[in-house]
Amino acid sequence: MATRRALIVEDDPEVREVTVTTFEVLGFDVVSAANAQEALAIFDTSPVIDVLFTDVRMPGGLDGFGLVRQVRAKHPQMRVIYTSGYPGVITSPAETFEHGPFLAKPWTFAELQATLNTVLDATEPGHETVVRTTRRAG
């Protein structure tokens, strides 16, 4: 089976490093970006990307939702997982999760693995199952 490729978009360097390592442990070839503009440049030059894992809130004027809209304009079948540590991000599930599930930070290895399995095993690209997790207290 061919290795899957993931693009991780995360502005926090430590969180990005942990996320990249986790995806690598799960068998992915990984590229990463610190913001949406870097991610768009990667899409313009990179070979196939199987899944986009993006933080929602990022500096630079383009958030994760805007990034996904731009990516899906060129790559309508792109598999997407959103993530955020901000509780106010979930405001309108019907609009927010149009292109993929949301995984609240801090997520666990098992939660990420299950969400990836759901997204990558979806039989109809663009119709991913919404997987919502709750933020842990403490």
Between 87 and 23, whose confidence is greater? Answer: 23
Q: What is the residue range of 79's domain?
A: 5-121
* pLDDT score of 124 more than 50: no
The CATH number for 69's domain is 3.40.50.2300
- Whether residue 137 is contained in a domain is answered as no
pLDDT single digits (tens) 26-74 = 999 999 999 999 999 999 998 789 999 999 998 888 999 899 999 999 9
Residues near 84 by Cβ (< 8 Å), separated by ≥ 6? Answer: 55, 56, 57, 64, 102, 104, 105
CA distance 6 to 56: 17
pLDDT of residue 102: 86
Does 130 reside within a domain? no
pLDDT of 129 strictly over 80:
no
pLDDT score, position 66: 93
pLDDT bin (cut points 50, 70, 90) of residue 96 is very low
